[in-house]
Amino acid sequence: MISADELIALVRPYNPKTNEALIRAAYDFGREMHEGQFRHSGEPYFSHPVAVAAILTEQRLDDATLITALLHDTIEDTKASYKEVAERFGDEVAMLVDGVTKLTNLQLNSSETKQAENFRKLFMAMSKDLRVILVKLADRLHNMRTIKAMRPEKQAQKARETMDIYAPLAGRMGMQWMREELEDLAFRVLNPEARASIIRRFINLQRETGDVIQRITGDMRMELTKARVIAEVFGRAKKPYSIWRKMEEKDQSFSRLSDIYGFRIITGTEEDCYRTLGAIHQRWRAVPGRFKDYISQPKTNGYRSIHTTVSGRDGKRVEVQIRTQQMHDVAETGVAAHWSYRDGVRSQNPFAVDPAKWIVQLTEQFDGEDDHEDFLEAVKLEMYSDKVFCFTPKGEVVKLPRGATPIDFAFAIHTRIGAACVGAKVDGMRVPLWTRVKNGQSIEIITAEGQTPQATWLDIATTGKAKTAIRRAIREEDRARFIKLGRELARSAFDHMGRKATDKALATAARNLRLGNRDDLLARLGSAELTGREVVQAVYPDSMPKKGEKVDARRAVVGLLPGQSFDRAPCCEPLPGERIIGITFRGKGVVVHAIDCDRLSAYEDQPDRWLDLRWHDGSHPAVYGATLDLTLSNDAGALGRVCTLIGETEANISDLEFVDRKPDFYRLRIGVELRDIAHLHSLMLRLEAEGDVASVSRVRAPAGQSRSGEKAH
């Protein structure tokens, strides 16, 4: 916890005329009131208000706001009263502290109707003095920075509230740096694996390409020097959550995402901004549709800047923001720039908006909404840039992701309506089903009896609910086709064992697998819910051949300590013949990774857990799983021929999943059990040579996560 002197030292550089005595008095009063109170981490509770005040000094805020931060929990959590705070520190501070207390007491994670009323109260509190929300945002930021001390369920609740309410609000106020940090801190709690994965990808990218930011920054400075423009250039990688959101919106993997770097150029004058833009576009190719001039058309919160995206080194896209120092100050602090100090006086920034006018403009948009739900919807339409809110003909609100279509809207209302959809009207006009819906539109779904979901809808739909319902309907409609395909797969699997797929054998397999009848068995086999191996084993459990068991699979790894067991890592699925590394886990033995596994970067600072291992020489049994990604022509018998080919290479199919279906091709993932890496290469070569196979690659990550393919050679 920083001392009163250290806090004042943070204020003096921008406000030499600060009332040090009053800040010191507030510090002492707050510490006295919170005496004996502790945070979840065990630290004195007063360390939190002090940290909030320190955050606000970064925005160069006035004394009243800083004192409010020091006292913001006194009225709520201590014996201090409004009257006492007013007597000691003035009515202005007391009013601000009371406003923060009321905001803290709002249950913003409650039901939709109550949340609407809380939003209304929140805007009413903001309308009195916007500094209330500035303190509350800093309060939330420090709580998110120290959230690990909370219980897991409390962490999740606070993180969702931050992502839904406080981060968008910070962005709406123009405090983009705070929005990004709040989102990233919430992302760390809500999806830690995804965040860690993106960070690891960054580490690997830097190893492969070196310091791209430094190189591009140097190139930009050189171009500006040529253009005789004096400016500062800063570059940075975007926050993990920002990258994750782009991956989700664009449905792209990290390796295909281009604009993950951002650059900021701070010039001396507005004229230099446009000269800089010319120099950048002359040197690099501008990306169409990615240029915005917020200098000539500022945002309502005072934000001014030129945005452009260009293709930089190696064809990588980079985002460039160009602005003056005064514009930058507003961009960093948003509406808070109105209270910023510089050299002891209120900063006279010509681009800072009047917060009173801004909040009036914002609240006027919602004053006409008498209904609570309509009010909440109006708030969210204003604040949430990644959501689309549309209305049914009866006025009910439907929330969809940006980029959604009427198909998504129909299934969001009810699966039955989605399945029977034949058309849609947007604001009374008939539109194609692939139309991207926009905020505030009224959508009417046209249905027809006898209509069923079409396979092409999978390319139109964007929500998981719609896609799942469409796939289920298509699977049911295609049952007859699956039964026919399943019969061919069963014949192939039984023939491979020298047996016949008779009706009696299939009925026996269905009974042993606890399925209704033979057709149920064949339908599941044809839709890849069962494998031919499982069907054969259900009838002849002891007839499957055992190949090459010279090396015991339980003792296949050399280099383990006596008594240590091992498991293959699911992220890379190492095979005999590949170079491997072991990571020790207390009570869990050793997890074996391939030497080039991305996951190993997480243990770089724990060398004592690493074991240098190798596979036993000799013939291994075909029990080591690997996953293949195949694109296969949608022709009769194609899947059966591939399954037969896999069997002929003495590999076993352990799993089969359809990933995507198109009229001419479909993509699937096949789990196979192999002997070693040579066996894998042999199988992939055979598959690549098969006329029905368009492409084949090895998947090196578990299902449901981002995958990187190892192409067949």
Catalytic residues: 76-77
C-alpha span between 591 and 577 (Å, rounded): 17
C-alpha span between 706 and 255 (Å, rounded): 10
**What is the per-residue DSSP string for 130-163?**
THHHHHHHHHHHHHHHTGGGS-HHHHHHHHHHII
List Cβ neighbours of 464 (8 Å cut-off, separation of 6 or more). Answer: none
Nearest alpha-carbon partner for 54 in 39, 66, 71: 66
List Cβ neighbours of 97 (8 Å cut-off, separation of 6 or more). Answer: 68, 71, 72, 74, 75, 82, 85
C-alpha span between 605 and 596 (Å, rounded): 17
Would you call 469 helix, strand, or coil by DSSP? helix
Q: Are 390 and 425 in contact (CB under 8 A)?
A: no
Q: Are 71 and 45 in contact (CB under 8 A)?
A: no
Phi and psi at residue 667, to the nearest 5°: -115, 135
Nearest alpha-carbon partner for 388 in 320, 336, 428, 442: 442
**Residue 275 tokens, joined:** 């000269």
List Cβ neighbours of 262 (8 Å cut-off, separation of 6 or more). Answer: 235, 236, 237, 238, 318, 319, 320, 321
List Cβ neighbours of 535 (8 Å cut-off, separation of 6 or more). Answer: 490, 493, 506, 509, 513, 521, 525
Amino acid at position 71, single letter: L
List Cβ neighbours of 608 (8 Å cut-off, separation of 6 or more). Answer: none
End-to-end CA distance of the chain: 59
| 187 C-beta neighbours (distance < 10 Å), count | 23
C-alpha span between 696 and 680 (Å, rounded): 12
Burial 450-478 (b: 16+ CB within 10 A, else e): eeebbeebbebbbbeebbebbbebbbeeb
Residue count (the chain): 713
| CA 219 to chain centroid | 31
List Cβ neighbours of 497 (8 Å cut-off, separation of 6 or more). Answer: 536, 540, 543, 544
C-alpha span between 672 and 651 (Å, rounded): 6
List Cβ neighbours of 626 (8 Å cut-off, separation of 6 or more). Answer: 573, 575, 671, 672, 674, 680, 698
Phi and psi at residue 549, to the nearest 5°: -100, 35
DSSP state of 339: G
List Cβ neighbours of 218 (8 Å cut-off, separation of 6 or more). Answer: none
Angle of helix 503-512 versus helix 532-539 axis, rounded to 10: 90
